Amino acid sequence: MDQNALNNIRKTVTENPIVLYMKGTPQFPQCGFSGLAAQVLKACGVTEYVSVNVLADAEAYENLKYYANWPTFPQLYIKGELIGGSDIMKDLYEKGEMQKLVESAKA
């Protein structure tokens, strides 16, 4: 566990309203779960957010699991809080909750 990496992750998730750590990019996801996460954000009308490609960022890839005690990708953070992965995002979206979360991040 790298304390500098954890500090960088903390800085990223607290200084940006919406952050998605994923495999690949929103335009070119490298796994189905990351693709679904990006699609859920798009379906909520979110066009501006920070996405971090963990496949290109070894520091984030190795240390993110320690930051939030969440072992898998993608990981969505809204206003510094871990929301979860793509299945949680999809569930929240289907209940109408994801839309409220992203709206709160824009405020």
Q: For the chain, how many structural domains are there in total?
A: 1
Q: Would the annotation count 31 as a binding residue?
A: yes
- Averaged pLDDT in 10-residue chunks for the chain of 107 residues: 94 97 97 98 95 96 93 96 97 97 86
**Domain coverage including residue 54:** 3-106
Report pTM: 0.95
CATH of the domain at 27: 3.40.30.10
- Report the SS3 class of residue 22: strand
Using CB atoms within 10 A of its CB, is residue 67 exposed (0-12), middle (13-18) or buried (19+)? buried
Q: Which two tokens stand for residue 8?
A: 């960088």
Do 66 and 35 touch, CB atoms closer than 8 A? Answer: no
Looking at residue 106, its pLDDT comes to: 77
What's the CA gap between 37 and 53, in Å, rounded? 13
